[in-house]
Homo-oligomer: A and B are copies of this chain.
Amino acid sequence: MGPGPSNIDPRVLQAMARPIIGHLDPQFIELMDDIKDLLRYAFQTENPLTFPISAPGSAGMETCFANLVEQGDKVLVCVNGVFGGRMKENVIRCGGEAIIVEDEWGAPVSSDKVEAALQAHPDINILAFVHAETSTGVCSDAATLAGIAKKYGCLTIMDCVTSLAGIPVLIDEWGIDAAYSGSQKCLSCPPGLSPITFSPRATDVVRKRKTKVQSWFLDLSLVMDYWSGEGARSYHHTAPINSMYALHESLLLLKDEGLKNSWARHETQHKFLKIGLENLGLSLLVDERFRLPQMNSVVIPGPLREREGDIRKALLSKHNLEIGAGLGDLAGKIWRIGLMGFGASEKNVETCIAALQSMLHAGLSSVS
């Protein structure tokens, strides 16, 4: 129950253990087509260029920046947690100029600040933001941010690693140009794959680049030929076949449940968790309006902060329960409790509350 990887449905684990076939086998090509269709459903998009990158979410992020940013491009990056900071680093390494809009960790991206920055820098051509900040548990208003970007003629790059399948992610309705996610959060698949989707407008930008993408492995103009539906697939790299089996199975489970039901389940379990935490005298870091149901940042009570690492260790060793530590400025101040995908269950909430209760009793008695 940390901030991911999340628990995995046994059906997905068993899918992963199926015998391997070749990466150019007609049956695997069919599976690839299925995965693309199912991902389009998860992302709520018609984008033809929708498929999983053969590496974790960080590589998905890099795919978006490396393909869309050219030397000297100006990118407005919204930083309100760890992953916004990583976006900035990506822009710089791609030879772009990163202009930063900063918000407090625990607060959402301010659309006013974004609009002001786009007004002040009319030559910015990309807006990049994190939809669901895994480091804080904050949800930013993607629809509004994408609308502003459109108004100023910018492409949008959105991180939806933690949001996809946990809360609404509406790529086409919002007008997002490029988005990446991860397999190991609300999709409840083993880590190692990063689903991406590019709008026709973004795909066009990739096609019309003046310079080659600096990464051969992540160059969409090459990977596309392997994942495209037209004509013969040309070999690019050996896809992680068994991981694709797992992703396929987890996407089937999502389709069976239905996106709306999945969002509702995350919301319901989050409410149960919140009540349980409040009963223990614990509060959530993030204002209710911006809270992610799937990533709960719990404020650690002052007297426990010094020993919070020991408490997490004991939760793991005595209760078989992993919860996440705070990152950056929030290290030692919050715990991060994930309710993601298969892990967003009543059983998990109950286990977590019972374990925390027993630890806090022990902790408080030895502190007092």
A residues in contact (CB < 8 Å) with B: 2, 4-5, 7-8, 13-14, 16-23, 25-26, 54-59, 61-62, 66, 86, 89-90, 92-94, 182, 184, 190-192, 212-217, 235-243, 246, 316, 322, 327
Contacts and interface: CB of A to CB of B under 8 A. Distances in A.
Given A23-B191, A57-B237, A184-B238, 18 more contacts: A13-B16, A13-B17, A16-B16, A16-B242, A54-B192, A55-B59, A57-B238, A61-B216, A61-B217, A62-B216, A90-B216, A93-B214, A93-B216, A182-B238, A190-B240, A190-B241, A190-B242, A240-B243
A113 to B, nearest CB: 25
B215 A62 contact: yes
Nearest to A325: B24
Nearest to A63: B217
A188 B276 CA distance: 47
Contact of A20 (B5, B23, B214, B239): B5
A191 B56 contact: no
A238 B191 CA distance: 7
Contact of A13 (B19, B25, B89, B212): B19
A23 B8 contact: no
Contacts of A16: 13, 16-17, 242
Contacts of A56: 54-55, 217, 237-240
Contacts of A62: 215-217
A21 B238 contact: no
A216 B13 contact: no
Contacts of A25: 316, 322
Contacts of A90: 216
B23 A243 contact: no
Q: Which of A4, A192, A214 has the most CB of B within 10 A?
A: A192
B17 A5 contact: no
Contacts of A58: 216-217, 236-237
Nearest to A215: B215
Contacts of A94: 214
Given A217-B55, A217-B59, A322 B17 contact: no
A26 B56 CA distance: 21
Contacts of A54: 55-56, 192
Given A192-B192, A237-B56, A241-B191, A93 B215 contact: yes
Q: Which of A22, A86, A246, A316 has the most CB of B within 10 A?
A: A22
A190 B54 CA distance: 12
Contact of A243 (B21, B26, B190, B322): B190
Given A239-B191, A243-B192, A22 B2 contact: yes
A164 to B, nearest CB: 15
